A and B are shown apart, each in its own frame.
Chain A
Amino acid sequence: MKHFAMLTLVAATALTGVYAADLAPVKSTVKQVYVYQPEKYSVRQGGTISNQFNTYLLTVTVSKPMGNKPPQLQFDISAGNFGFNPLINPLRITVNDIALSKLSVKAEDFTAWKDGDKAGTQLKLNFDGAKYTLISYMRPDSPVLWMTLKADPSSVEPTETLTIQVSNLTSNLVRVNKKIAWIGAYQREFITPTRTLKQQVKEYVLTPAENEITFTDKIFDGSAKDKGAGPTWFQFDSSVVTKATVTVRNEWVNVVKMTVKPDAKEFKFAYWQQKPAISNADFQKKLKEEKKAFTR
């Protein structure tokens, strides 16, 4: 892992000059994986998608019914301790008012996926007859995790509503006097293609041009060991989105909510984060220099 992290750093800085032919193929596997307290889960399938620049771990868990708690599905994305992280349930999909967490998913519904040089995973979802496939993949030339939520033509019910919620725990979770600071210890600043969103209580409504967000924190800017992990990045296809909002609050978790057109055949979005810390400034530079890698 350490070796891989170094590779990522080296590769990331040199990415501009790498020719496609020199790129290592994307690897992806899906298998049962260890999760914390595995005895509590009836399904715990893990997908690993990696190329020479980055590695993403996707996990599908279905908890066993415990006492009054019904079984619950969770789809997690991780490439580090902060940013998009299993702790905060980073991706929530709701179709026709049915939350992804309620769905019945079997281990065999989560499988490896490949299309040319793109490789990743796919997860079959059935929202009471409105069926979707969630494809997550990487390209050989990019550190980004590309995702597509594809409507399945075998659906027996139409989609009337579709919302996607992406949660982000930016850079660091602070402890003050040995207690976790859920609020009040952060200086969040999220950057879209058109503006920098400062902290405020009210959520921001994004314009169609604001189809990507870099989540940063000014205190925990990733520039040193005690400055957190640095920024993370999210992009989505705003052409099929009717409304998108983002919270930028002095809180540990902030949320992007997207209302997708119900008749959209697919909704594309993308995550980026990396395990080695990166400073806000370095990431902005990277984003600029490796534009192609961050473009679908």
Chain B
Amino acid sequence: MKIKNLLLAAVALSAATVWSYDLKTVELVPVKFEKAPSHAPVKMVENGKLNFAIVADLKAEKRMRAAKKSRSEESIAPAIEILTEAIEKCTGVKPQVLDIKDAAKAKYMIVLGDNAITRANGIDVKKLPTQGFAIKTFNKGIIIAGYDTALINGWNTKPLEHKGSSTGTKYGAYDFVERFLEVRYFFPGQYGTIWPKVKNLTLKPVYYTDAPYFDQRNGIFYLGLGFAKAAGKKFWQEYLGEITKKDAIFWDRWRMGGTSSAGGSHSPRPEMIAKAYPDKLEKIFYKSPAGNFWYNPKAHIGNYYDVVNLDFADILIDGAKKYYASNGKDNKYGFSGCNLSYFSFGMCDTLLPDTDVINHPVVKKLGLMTQKDLDRNKFYAGTTGDNAGMANIYARFHQYLAKRLQKELPGVKLYIMAYYNAQFAGTDPRWILPPNTEVNLCLGSMPNNTRNKVIAEKAVQVAKEWYESLGNRPVQKMWLYAGTDPFVQAVNGEFVGDIPKLFGKYMGTTSLFFDHCTGSPGNYWFFYYSYYAAYRSMWNPNWNAAAAIDAHWAKFYGKEAGKYLLQFHKHLRYCFEKYATTGTETVKSIVYPAPEIHKLKDLLAKAEKAINPGSVEAKRFKLFAAPWEKAFDKVLNQLSYERPIHNVYQLLRNEKVTIDGKGTEKFWAKAQNMKLMDPKGTTTPVKYPADIKLAWDKQGIYGLFTMKHSPIMADPKKDLFVNDNFEFFLSPGMKLEVEYQFVFDALKQTFFGTKRHLPIPQPFDSYWKVKGFKLECTHGKDFFTAEFFVPYSALNEKAPNVYDTWHCNVVRNKFSVPREYSGTSMTLGNNHNMSMYGIIKFAGKGE
């Protein structure tokens, strides 16, 4: 009996060691299978012994580079590294690497890239699509060869060519290790890759090819950002383990990148073009008929290019000619995304209110902003931006700029950044864009709303309008936004594949850019599964991303924990579909009902319980679980949020305030302190409290705000929004009709803004003049005190009656390290979210 059992165990063990791969697994993007060659199975690995060597023309790429024939990234060399690493990790044996001339020394081989063997086996890499590859077995092993620009004579050799690289062989290598060895690259660091144990590998005849759908699969800026600084690296090491140089380019394993030149970005940089043409500031930056000059020498935000004035286009062309003539060396203009393919023009991060431009004489004379334009705002309101008012102003400017480019710099296309006021295409037939124009369409509603019928239809309409404005050509690039809500981030990567299907002919295949809406260290690795889905979907949008993610849980976390995590993720998807895809407005922040949150919490707890502490699964779980406690906390807090009511101290007849920034008046001690909280809704206590006190009399509101630390970021050269500052928001009464914003830093730099919301919403006025506003600040080693006065007359309000109530929010931005963002209302991170503001009550005397 014992012998029989032993025999059975031996058979089972032997079966387990025979590696069987599934080339059509749902876990990977589908590939195109060609007619398989005819040969016997090739035993590449037998009982842990490697019967093969990696074979390539080892010097081909270097020869090209040395001869300056190509300035492409290498493809074959990294492919060798990828294979060597994977094979060694999976089999425990490092494979031998042979140059093509020594290929005969190998019994079997993995042949990489273009060479005689590859060609002899019928693979012509030049016939493959850009970035594409072919994988084909033959009687001596397998060939992995792709379209490699490192081997193309003249690729990217011109100074301003600025193209990316096609690294087909490298992508083929990744595909091989994923498809044949079942390696899975989920996140960087020590724990994020599955390296299966492979004792035997026998290749059956097969031949397939693959290539990406989108030429540029991008978001590299963000994924690289997390490890760029020591603080970011330290942050992620806590979750990812040791981080190597390779991890800094982990995105490469998700096959991110592309060949087309960059374009459609913010360009030029405002501070640089201002410096390049100091005598032309009023032609570069917009000045409204009311005299508002949209020029901010201290920051990117606050600048607005004068697109009403075609002289500005001439200035751009003047700079462009010098830039191109110098092969980009003369770039005092701050051009970005400007190369032999494209000249980028993109506005600054500033939204111009339609009211500031509608009365401009040129706009009026040419009918550039009509009721029809403003009505488009109503049509799109809440769904995908409502900034169509200036569409024809931009169309005229873009048309002029493109035509001038055509004349002065033929071959260089204008790449428009369709963003903010420029998001919408012109509809006036006078301003159809010439063929040397391309569009990068920035859609804040995508990909989060691909499955919301109402919003998706309107987003498609935006793209359709561009298509028509471009003379029936599609937008070539789309800028997607991940947002910052964990409940959205966890699933929205799975929607990226919807984009080309949704937009059809209105969307080209050049580029998708995924904006992760975060700085360093970022939060994307917490949602690796979502972004894995996103970027792989850019490669192949027809991939069943959801099925692939579902399949990974058990493999990555173990059967039992995987079961619960699968349920957890499916429930996230279910909730998103149920609660976040049916509205008529884009989802900014999700508040699922408490029972859904409790269910998620329960599943997460069960998963954790099923994982052995200290195991690799436990390390992975630590990363996965990291954002959820706060996320649950935040939603439950939102559900139970009560707008705080703060009494505003009423000055007695004998009490006076001297605005001196000292707050030495005795009554301040009696004024109620408005408690700070995390505006994003977590219960995380505020580590750097501040005293926030308000008082009132019949003339106005007095404030005494004190930070109990030094505002070490206070820098007169910097915009107040990068200094430690306070933001004070008021909305008189309870109807939320008008919003007033006061921002100030320790240097007494101020910003004032106002917006009427009712009865008819008006644009935000960032040029609001606050007559009678007084501010004095003092700061020292461990404090920053701001004392201010806001007269009611500045708000067009009469003095409130005692016990009247207004909406109010105070935000404290501590930008000195460690940074902290706190406020008196749970605004969910949107300081203008008035419905969540607290209430101030104008207290009676002696209260």
Contact = CB atoms under 8 A, between A and B. Distances in A.
Contacts of B774: none
Instruction: Categorize the interface residue count of chain B.
Output: 20 to 34
Contact of A42 (B645, B647, B734): B645
B846 A156 contact: yes
A71 B803 CA distance: 10
A127, A128, A154, A157 interface centre (most CB from chain B within 10 Å) = A128
Contact of B803 (A42, A69, A104): A104
B643 interface: yes
Nearest to A73: B803
Contacts of A131: 846
A179 to B, nearest CB: 32
B642 A98 contact: no
Contacts of B736: 68
Interface string B821-847: 000000000000000000101011111
Interface of B: 642-643, 645, 647, 650, 652, 734-736, 802-805, 839, 841, 843-847
A103 to B, nearest CB: 6
Contacts of B839: 65, 70-71
Contacts of B645: 42, 65, 71, 104
Contacts of A67: 734
Interface string A236-277: 000000000000000000000000000000000000000000
Contact of A129 (B643, B734, B846): B846
Interface in A126-162: 126-129, 131, 154-157
B652 to A, nearest CB: 6
Contacts of B804: 70
B9 to A, nearest CB: 63
A154 B306 CA distance: 63
A98 B846 contact: no
A102 interface: yes
22 contacts: A65-B643, A65-B645, A65-B805, A69-B734, A70-B734, A70-B805, A71-B841, A98-B802, A98-B844, A102-B802, A104-B645, A104-B841, A104-B844, A126-B845, A128-B802, A128-B844, A128-B845, A129-B652, A129-B844, A129-B845, A129-B846, A156-B845
B643, B650, B803, B839 interface centre (most CB from chain A within 10 Å) = B803
B805 A128 contact: no
A65 B734 contact: yes
A118 interface: no
A131 B845 CA distance: 9
B642 A128 contact: no
A127 B846 CA distance: 9
Interface in A190-218: none
A286 interface: no
B649 to A, nearest CB: 11
B642 A155 contact: no
A227 interface: no
Contacts of A104: 645, 647, 803, 841, 843-844, 847
A127 B734 contact: no
A296 interface: no
Contacts of B647: 104
Interface residues of A, number: 21
Given A68-B736, A70-B841, 16 more contacts: A64-B642, A64-B643, A68-B734, A70-B734, A70-B839, A71-B841, A98-B802, A102-B803, A103-B803, A104-B647, A126-B847, A127-B844, A128-B803, A129-B650, A156-B845, A157-B846
A102 B803 CA distance: 6
Nearest to B841: A104
A157 B845 contact: yes
A99 to B, nearest CB: 9
A110 B841 CA distance: 20
Contacts of A157: 845-846
B413 to A, nearest CB: 52
Contacts of A103: 803, 844
A129 to B, nearest CB: 3
A64 B642 CA distance: 8
A156 B649 CA distance: 14
Given A42-B642, A70-B805, A104-B647, A155 B846 contact: yes
B803 A98 contact: yes
B600 to A, nearest CB: 24
Q: Sorted from nearest, which 9 A-B pairs have the closest CB atoms?
A: A129-B845, A128-B844, A102-B803, A70-B805, A128-B802, A156-B846, A68-B734, A156-B845, A65-B839
B642, B802, B843 interface centre (most CB from chain A within 10 Å) = B802
A98 B804 CA distance: 11
A74 to B, nearest CB: 14
Interface in A94-135: 98, 102-104, 126-129, 131
A133 B455 CA distance: 58
Nearest to A103: B803
A129 B842 CA distance: 13
A134 B749 CA distance: 50
A103 B805 CA distance: 11
A61 to B, nearest CB: 14
A67 B643 CA distance: 10
Contacts of A70: 734, 804-805, 839, 841
Contacts of A65: 643, 645, 734, 805, 839
B559 to A, nearest CB: 43
Contacts of B847: 104, 126
